Amino acid sequence: MCGITGWISYDNDLTTQRPTLDAMTGTMACRGPDAGGVWLDTHAGFGHRRLAVIDIEGGKQPMTVERDGRTQIVTTYSGEVYNYRELRAELERLGHTFRTSSDTEVVLHAYLQWGDAFAERLNGMYAFALWDPRTEELLLVRDRMGIKPLYYHPTPDGVLFGSEPKAILAHPSVRPVVDAEGLAELITFTKTPGHAVYKGMHEVRPGHLVRVNRGGLTVKRYWALEAREHTDDLDTTVARIRELLDDIVARQLIADVPLCTLLSGGLDSSAITALSAKALAAQGAGPVRSFAVDFTGYTENFTPDDLRGTPDGPYAHALAEHVGSEHRDIVLDTAALMDPGHRAAVIAARDLPNGFGDGDTSLYLLFKAVREQSTVALSGESADEIFGGYRWFHDPAAVGADTFPWVAAGLASTFTGGHATREGLLDTGLLGKLDLPGYEARRYREALTEVPYLDSDAGHQRRMREVSYLHLTRFVQILLDRKDRASMAVGLEVRVPFCDHRLVEYVFNTPWSMKTFDGREKSLLRAATRDVLPDLVADRVKSPYPATQDPRYNEALRAGLREVAADRDAPVRPLLDGAALTEATADGAADDIRPGAELVLGMNTWLRTTGTTLEL
């Protein structure tokens, strides 16, 4: 995994702009701590920071293909193509020769052989840029599910791009500005495809190509979810899912660096860990290493609530013992979660205020600890969106609501452990201007217009196809972006096997009645992997990512709000409701302040450290 950036300018000679490219590339050092490089031509400049995973010596970038002393194509590339060995063999049969063992070089030759159609042949997680000096055209490409981020900012004579907004913001012509729509996107849990929050900036949509030439910029979709008839019976469906998972996990275990799994003790991560252990054992390469996050005293003092009925620890340990993994718990305390340096690091990594509060900070600290022992980690992320794991999939009120189901179910409380709203401390006049319910409604209507249907879809099946589509194109983006930023901030590559497009396409078209055939969540995944799991884990009820239950954490949040209230120069102050802030910081006030406090404190740090201007 790596960090990429670049600048295309048809009116300037970029060979004189090395300092600017160096500055843009430098912002990506966290994503690529192993090496860096810059490539400059008259109208194109590419920067690259490398996290070496495959072909340590030969995979340096930016990478070019030369012919007769002339550059045919150049790339700055981030990600992994898991079928690169098959593609390489096919390209060699077609006459291509290779000088490295990297998947990056395979991508270059695939483009030279098949043109734009090459993207349809790639299986993996990737975001990259290709510059063709022969036509002076740039191609930006992002993987089907949007696992890897890629942003761009059109300019009067070209474009700027980068893995993260900070790379683009390092260019002297770009200022960090957020308008009312951007702020609404930031506050709500919508994650509109293509929206980058910052004014003038865009995100390459998953499964899309962006082409830039002297004539301007065009966008092309190369993949989308399609509605197809599912003709397999239940037993065949379960067997096919297992077949896919075995193949996917085996492919994603390929690395030339230490590798591990992230294990929570839930069905998703346990399945990935167990299948990894099985595959490694077959290769004679085991045991698998696994890591879990925990909080000081969490298991011993755990209090069940409406969201989390059990702590993760005992289940993670049961799975680790069952498969014989080398397991380690990463135990965090409240002081680490509230450390200003850690919270600021998370905001710097995301370029935006925290989305999930202590959940973001704990994820960052988990990855930081994992990175000390591994460079690559396999995660169970996205299984809930694919197989229908969240509780709101099974809540008639949330499913039937005329909005995103996770909004109807109260996402903020689900992931932060509180019950208040994120916007509870914001000024009522500001909220009226932003019209967050109206913004969510517009984005919801836009999403529904994209949903593919079969003629046979009706009633509950039709609605559940919509719900699945919303999760696979909107909600999953929130979590994939969160995981990418937290992991790459410490130079850890996280792979997400459940996002393999073959599995996503197959399960998306499986009828909802089959996805819940045993009356539970994620029925198909449980059936497909039960043989490698202990019953304790296979039968566990879904529990969201853990949030600390330490009461000192809420007190620390309240102390942070008091500091904001006392600081007349706090940049977030003009956005707040004074009465609500006074109530939240008063002695004896209700403890239920997490969602709002996390947003306010995050925004204050973000505005202060980035110099972002709000144009409202």
Between CA 335 and CA 565 the distance in angstroms is 22
Q: Which segment of 141-145, 267-271, 364-368, 414-418 scores lowest on mean pLDDT?
A: 414-418
Helical spans, DSSP H, in 126-229 = 165-169, 180-187
Write out the H or E segment, with its range, that includes residue 78. strand 70-81
The CA distance from 198 to 177, in Å, is 6
Q: How confident is the model at residue 122 (pLDDT cuts 50, 70, 90)?
A: very high
Q: How far is CA 159 from the centre of its chain?
A: 24
Q: Would the pLDDT of 53 be above 90?
A: no
Report the mean per-residue pLDDT for the chain.
94
Residue from 2, 30, 260, 499 carrying the catalytic annotation: 2
- Nearest to 417, CA basis, from 248, 287, 594: 594
Query: Looking at the predicted structure, is the pLDDT value of residue 413 above 60?
Result: no
What pLDDT is recorded for position 198? 98
Residue the block writes with tokens 């499964």: 207
Cα–Cα distance, 480 to 494 (Å, whole number): 10
Residue 471 confidence (pLDDT) above 80: yes
How far apart CA 460 and CA 349 sit, in angstroms, is 40
Average pLDDT rounded to a whole number, residues 376-382: 97
Question: Looking at residue 528, what is its pLDDT?
Answer: 98
Does the structure show a pLDDT above 80 at 592?
no
Task: Quickly list H helices, 284-357.
Answer: 313-323, 334-338, 340-350
Q: Is the pLDDT reported for residue 453 higher than 90? A: yes
- Maximum Cα interatomic distance, the chain, rounded to a whole number of Å: 77
pLDDT category, 78, cuts 50, 70, 90? very high
Residue 407 has pLDDT above 70, yes or no: yes
CA-wise closest residue to 605 among 240, 350, 425, 291:
350
User: Up-side HSE of residue 368: CA atoms within 13 Å toward CB?
Assistant: 15
Of 106, 102, 127, the closest CA to residue 118 belongs to 106
Q: How confident is the model at residue 419 (pLDDT cuts 50, 70, 90)?
A: low
Contacts (Cβ under 8 Å, ≥6 apart) of 232? 240
Most confident of 293-297, 409-413, 607-611: 607-611
Contact indicator for 582, 615 with CB cutoff of 8 Å: no
Query: Is residue 465's pLDDT more than 80?
Result: yes
Cα 614 to Cα 616: distance, rounded to the nearest angstrom: 6
Nearest CA to 542 among 349, 375, 393?
393
pLDDT of the residue at 145: 98
Which of 32-41, 137-146, 548-557 has the least mean pLDDT? Answer: 548-557
Burial class (CB in 10 A: 0-12, 13-18, 19+), 451: middle
The structure tokens listed for 530 are 């039960």
pLDDT value at residue 497? 98
pLDDT at 552 over 90: no
Q: How many CA atoms lie within 13 A of 616 on its CB side?
A: 15
CA distance 100 to 57: 9
Quick check: 179 pLDDT over 70? yes
Segment holding 295, helix H or strand E: strand 289-295
Nearest CA to 294 out of 541, 494, 550 is that of 550
Can you say whether residue 79 is alpha, beta or left, with left for phi > 0 and alpha for psi between -120 and 50 degrees? Answer: left
Parallel, antiparallel or unpaired: strands 44-50 and 202-203: unpaired
Q: How confident is the model over 230-237, as a mean pLDDT? A: 98
Distance CA 92, CA 96 (A): 5
Q: Which of 345, 3, 349 is nearest to 163 (CA)?
A: 3
Q: What is the pLDDT of residue 539?
A: 94
Contact present, 124 and 146 (Cβ < 8 Å): no
CA distances from 569 to 40, 565, 573, 604 (A): 43, 10, 8, 10
Supply 271's token pair: 């399945």
The DSSP code for 571 is T
pTM of the predicted protein model: 0.96
Residue 479 contacts residue 531 (beta carbons within 8 Å): no
**What distance in Å separates the CA atoms of residue 525 and residue 380, rounded to the nearest whole number?**
12
| Cβ-Cβ contacts under 8 Å for 410 (sequence gap 6 or more) | 419
The arithmetic mean of pLDDT across residues 47-57, rounded, is 83
Which range, of 117-126, 202-211, 294-303, 322-331, averages the lowest pLDDT?
Answer: 294-303
Mean pLDDT of 411-434: 78
- pLDDT tier for residue 590 given thresholds of 50, 70 and 90: low
pLDDT of 59 reads 73
Task: Give the model's pLDDT for residue 80.
Answer: 94
Sheet holding 208-213, edge to edge: 63-67, 70-81, 124-132, 137-142, 208-213, 216-221
- Which of the four pLDDT bands, split at 50, 70 and 90, describes residue 591? low
Query: Which residues are within 8 A (CB) of 407 and not within 5 positions of it... i.e. 6 or more apart?
Result: 188, 189, 401, 440
Helix (H, G, I), strand (E, B) or coil at 401: coil
Beta bridge partners of 75: 63, 130
Is 189 a residue whose pLDDT tops 80? yes
| Cβ neighbours of 29 (radius 10 Å) | 12
**Pairwise CA distance, residues 603 & 424, whole Å:** 14
What radius of gyration do the chain's Cα atoms show?
Answer: 24
- Residue 89, both tokens: 């063999």
- Name which of 63, 83, 191 is nearest 500 in CA terms: 83
At 116, the pLDDT band (50, 70, 90 cuts) reads very high
Return d(Cα 178, Cα 450) in angstroms, integer: 27
In the predicted model, is pLDDT for residue 68 greater than 90? no
Work out the burial of residue 519: count CB atoms within 10 Å of its CB; fewer than 13 is exposed, 13-18 middle, 19 or more buried. exposed
How far is residue 594's CA from residue 296's CA, in Å, rounded to a whole number?
19
Q: How far apart are CA 185 and CA 269, in angstroms?
A: 30
pLDDT band per the 50, 70, 90 thresholds, residue 252: very high
Q: Are 246 and 503 in contact (CB under 8 A)?
A: no
* Whether pLDDT at 213 is above 70: yes
Residue 461 vs residue 590, higher pLDDT: 461
The reply to whether 2 belongs to the active site is yes
Average pLDDT over residues 506-531: 97
Question: Poorest-confidence range of 167-171, 208-212, 349-353, 554-558?
Answer: 554-558
pLDDT band at 127 (very low <50, low <70, confident <90, very high): very high
pLDDT at position 301 is 73
Please give the Cα distance from 535 to 556 (Å, whole number): 39
pLDDT value at residue 1: 65
Enclosing H/E stretch for 218 = strand 216-221
